[in-house]
């Protein structure tokens, strides 16, 4: 089972690599707006998870750069995710609200919808 998952993961990463989307051209002003909006966010992921690939491709196409934490390879990140968000499921976007409050947004579709709505990106 582990070996099948590994092979599937490699295939997903390879396909993602050869069909990687080009970033849409945007103005410097829009780039600054995106960067300032996402600067303190973190996305918990597994590198070869197809749902994470979907979110990463959306981000790349739309010039969104968010720090990622691989919760498969790093047990500390997995613990952070479980303690903060309540479960080990990726992708999960951590959105800090203020000093004591954060939103842990699960579901690839919801993450893409959130980013596109907040950044006025058409889907």
Among candidates 8, 9, 76, 2, which has minimal Cα distance to 44?
A: 76
Q: How far is the CB of 44 from ligand GSH (least distance, A)?
A: 9
Classify residue 87 by its DSSP letter: S
Cβ proximity to ligand GSH, 38 vs 85, nearer residue: 85
Cβ proximity to ligand GSH, 24 vs 103, nearer residue: 103
Burial 13-39 (b: 16+ CB within 10 A, else e): eeebeeeeeeeeeeeeebeeebeeebe
Task: Report how far residue 58's alpha carbon sits from residue 51's, in angstroms, rounded to the nearest whole number.
Answer: 11
Among candidates 63, 69, 70, 56, which has minimal Cα distance to 37?
A: 63
Asked if 68 is part of the footprint of ligand GSH (rule: CB under 6 A), the reply reads no
Among candidates 60, 64, 110, 118, which has minimal Cα distance to 85?
A: 110
Q: How far is the CB of 107 from ligand GSH (least distance, A)?
A: 5
Q: Within positions 41 to 60, which residues make up the interface with ligand GSH, using CB under 6 A?
A: 46, 49, 51
Asked if 89 is part of the footprint of ligand GSH (rule: CB under 6 A), the reply reads yes
Q: How far is the CB of 89 from ligand GSH (least distance, A)?
A: 4
Region at 110 (left for phi over 0; alpha for psi -120 to 50; beta for the rest) = alpha
Asked if 90 is part of the footprint of ligand GSH (rule: CB under 6 A), the reply reads yes
In the list 34, 108, 115, 121, the residue contacting ligand GSH (rule: CB under 6 A) is: 108
Total residues interacting with ligand GSH, rule: CB under 6 A: 10
Catalog residues that contact ligand GSH under the rule CB under 6 A: 46, 49, 51, 88-91, 107-109
């Amino acid at each position: 089972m582990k070996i099948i998952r590994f092979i599937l993961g490699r295939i997903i990463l390879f396909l993602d690599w050869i069909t990687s989307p080009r970033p849409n051209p945007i103005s410097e002003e829009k780039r600054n707006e995106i960067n300032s909006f996402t600067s303190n966010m973190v996305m918990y992921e597994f590198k070869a998870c197809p749902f994470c690939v979907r979110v990463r491709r959306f981000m790349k196409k739309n010039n969104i750069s968010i720090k990622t934490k691989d919760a498969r390879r790093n047990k500390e990140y997995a613990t952070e995710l479980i303690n903060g968000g309540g479960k080990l499921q990726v992708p999960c976007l951590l959105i800090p609200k203020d000093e004591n409050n954060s939103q842990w947004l699960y579901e690839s579709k919801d993450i893409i919808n959130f980013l596109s709505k907040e950044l006025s990106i058409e889907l």
